Structure 1
Amino acid sequence: MAEIKIIGTAHVSQESVNEVRTAIEDYHPDVVAIELDPARYSALKKQARDPSVNDVLEVKNFNSLLVQWLLAYLQRKIGFDVGVEPGAEMKAAIAEAEQRNIPIALVDRDIRVTLMRFWNTLGFIEKLKMIWALIISIAEIDNGQEIDIESLKEQNVIDVVMEEFRKFSPNGARALIDERDAFIAHQLVILKAQRPEGKILAVIGAGHRKGISAYLDDPKTLPPFDSLTKEPKPFPWAKVFGFGVTFLFAFLLAAIAFSGVGLNVLLYAFLFWVIIHGVLSAIFVLLAGGHPYSALTCFCVAWMTSLNPMLHAGWIGAYVEARVRKPPVTDFRKIYETESLKEMAKIPLFKVVLVAALGNLGSLLGTVLYFIFVFPVLGIDPTVVISTGIGNLWAWVTGLF
């Protein structure tokens, strides 16, 4: 019967590198299974094609891409501090297996599916908490806070960290940890069936070892494989919010128009919508380091895109930014090699993605502030205007019939 040995590693640990090499040398596995998917394997081997700026603009996953880049930066900074390149233990496993002509099995889920399921299953509050925690973590690492990497492989420490992560982001923990535990366990079960008399060495992140081992002990508890690979289709809250904003704005203008307060008030209500969206979107683009043309574009279109759930001001600003900056294909790799956030912020492709994210954020903030301050700015009583406007509108509609 096939035998599976699991090594739990830390991705920036020299001790894990040594442990992997020793295990392959002593265990003599018939196959080495590593926690990589084909895309990350190619990237690790420097064989992957870097996406172009057009690829990035076409997919429009600007927010999740920013999170991915910042996570990679955080891992890389930790690696710099301990003198180990992120993924070094996976590279060591690959090198040792190739040197001994041992087959390699890539057992992790496609990184694109994982990131999509991770980001799409997070609630709005979870996303804000995740981004804030990421920013704080980067700031602490950049300020020289030390991390005991080797302690992160100890099971009691792992259990505490995982429990805290589940409390902090239950949906994120399910996508990044639980689902991948099940996916990798599925792959190892398949390998075991293919090699009934062989020995399998699995090189897995320490955080996955407990979950994978539990599934291997009782494979009947594994969830259906298809449920782990399909793209999630979350409820389209963003579109619902967008259509809601459009309806509220139209309703507000109609109420003002029929309230009898005057055409000038209606005009000012519309101008306030245009100005607050345009100014905030443009300011956020400039804060992102965007080109003045990109900021001007967002200023001009934000009032319209905020009324169309299918369009976003930041997307249009990003297209302009890309045409002005003309990021080369090599920018994608540069982002993964920078040693500081200041250096990353100067990369044209990073500016394009940041312009998209912050341009949209500025427009969203404009929508929130508009409905809070529109009546104080206009100097009118909302209760009187809305009630009078609705009454007059209803009388007008019923009069038509």
Structure 2
Amino acid sequence: MTEIRLVGTAHVSRKSVEEVRSAIEEFQPDIVGVELDRGRFVSLREEAAEPSVGEILKGGNFGQLLVQWVLTYIQQRIGAETGVKPGAEMLAAVEEAEAHQKPVALIDRDIRITLARFWGRMGIWEKIKLIGALIYSLVSVEGQKIDVDEFTDQDVVSAAMEEFRKFSPRGAQALIDERDAYLAHQILMLGGRYERVLAVVGAGHIRGVQRYLDAPETLPPLPALTAGVKTLPWAKIIGVGVTILFLLLIAAIAFSGVGIDVLLTALLYWVLINGVLSAAFTLVAGGHPLSAVTAFAVSWLTSLNPLLAAGWFAAIVEAKIRKPAVGEFRQIIEAETLAEMRRIPLFRVVLVAALASVGSTLGTVLYFLFIFPILGIDPTVVIADGFSNMVEMIRGLF
């Protein structure tokens, strides 16, 4: 009969490292499963090949990448308080298993799948709240005394999980529930081949995994846990909507009879509002003035094309100027302060890419909100007259 034992850990706890070693020594498992995927395992052993700047720019998921870096930074800061490197308990499990000549299984879902499903499942409001919470965490974690060993107390963990579930229900499903099921699948598969299985997982997964182990028939199919999230391409839909709205607005002004000077002013403000905000956000990100000029020059056009982003062009210029070097990806992960992180060229390139696009988007929103007060005309009259004149012109052609 297969015997399965779970060990719950906190990723930056010295106590967890000791508990893992004790469990292996005492239980003497036939195999040790650890909550790692291949990529994180290689990264922990500092064997990972870093992506190039070109690969990062080509990927285009700048917001996702920044969230990942900030989460890693927060974990690093907590780890610095305890003197334990994040993931040390998982490496301890691997090393202890190897010392006892026990095989090791990596039982977690690929981090890229988890992040993609996490980001894809969250709604816009959830993403905004998450970014705000991360910014707050960056500030509050500095100098704060944290009892990390509480992270393995199930009552504390359960309360934290419930709070996160209220904060982001769909994000929690991808980050917690789905991984509970995935881990349980992997552990049960190990149980089919070995008599004594020790699984080392984060404390937040203990109850969920155990629930599935007690009732395997409730597990969702494994392929459903690794498939891509099918969502509507809202960014493209909104981008197309903005393009259509802008063209209709310009057409309405042009045919309303208010004058060519008003039309030219409307076009000028489209360039200025988009450009100034995109350039300003580029400078806030620490971008080079030439990157800000680039953002200014292209943002009026990228706002009309859902397949382009001002941040992408600004980031290309920033990369040419800053010239990120090999090894900077790891430097970002290991940065001890925000100031240190911002000095790393690669981080600045990604930050420029993200914030320049945010500035351009904000400029588009503000344009539609304030263009009529700026022009000093009544939108209802202009739109009604413009479309009426367009209809009359079309009728006259036929």
TM-score of the aligned structures, taking structure 2 as reference length: 0.99
Which residue identity lines up with residue 141 of structure 1 in the other structure?
V
| Residue 100 of structure 2 is aligned to residue 103 of structure 1 | no
Q: Deviations over 1:12-55 (max 9, x none)?
A: 11110110010111110110000000000101111111111111
- Which residue of 2 is the match for residue 222 of structure 1? 219
Match of 1:35 in 2: 35
Aligned residues: 398
Matched, 1:170 2:169: yes
TM-score in terms of structure 1 length: 0.98
Distance 1:398 1:188 in 2: 71
- State whether residues 53 and 329 of structure 1, in contact with CA within 8 Å, keep that contact through their aligned partners in structure 2: no
Letter in 2 for 1:31: I
Cα drift, residue 233 of structure 1: 2.4
**Residue aligning to 1:56:** 56
For 1:94, the equivalent position in structure 2 comes to 94
Distance in 2 separating the partners of 1:276 and 1:137 = 32
The one-letter code of the counterpart of 1:4 is I
Matched with 1:262 is 259
Aligned counterpart in structure 2 of residue 343 of structure 1, from 324, 333, 340: 340
Letter of the aligned partner of 1:164 in structure 2? E
1:115-161 per-residue CA deviation (whole Å, 9 max, x = no partner) reads: 1111111111111100101111121111x222221112111111111
> Structure 1 counterpart of 2:100, which letter?
R
Q: In structure 2, what is the equivalent of residue 23 of structure 1?
A: 23
Query: What amino acid is the match of 1:139?
Result: V
After the TM superposition, list the runs of 4 or more consecutive aligned residues in structure 1 that deviate by more than 3 angstroms.
none
Q: Report the counterpart of residue 374 of structure 2 in structure 1.
A: 377
Uncovered stretches (5+) of structure 2, i.e. residues with no partner: none
Deviation at 1:393, TM superposition (A): 1.0
Aligned partner of 1:103: which letter?
P
Cα distance in 2 for residues equivalent to 1:86 and 1:233: 32
**C-alpha distance after superposition, 1:277-329 (max 9, x if no partner):** 01100000010001111111110000000000000000111111111111012
Deviations 1:318-363 (A, max 9, x none): 1111111110121001001110000000100001100010000000
Q: CA deviation at 1:400?
A: 1.7
**Please, which runs of 5 or more residues in structure 1 have no aligned partner?**
none
Trace 1:2-401 onto structure 2 (pairs within 5 A): 2-142=2-142, 144-195=143-194, 198-401=195-398
Which secondary structure state, in structure 1, belongs to the residue aligned with residue 29 of structure 2? coil
Instruction: Give, as a single letter, the amino acid of the residue that structure 2 aligns with 1:38.
Output: R
Q: CA RMSD in A?
A: 0.8
Amino acid at match of 2:284: L
Deviation digits for residues 68-97 of structure 1 (CA, Å, limit 9, x no counterpart): 000000000011112211111111111111
Letter in 1 for 2:80: F
1:354-381 CA distance string (max 9 Å, x none): 0010000000000010001101111111
Q: Please report how far the alpha carbon of residue 244 of structure 1 lies from its aligned counterpart in structure 2 after TM superposition.
A: 0.6
Partner-residue secondary structure (3-state), 2:334: coil
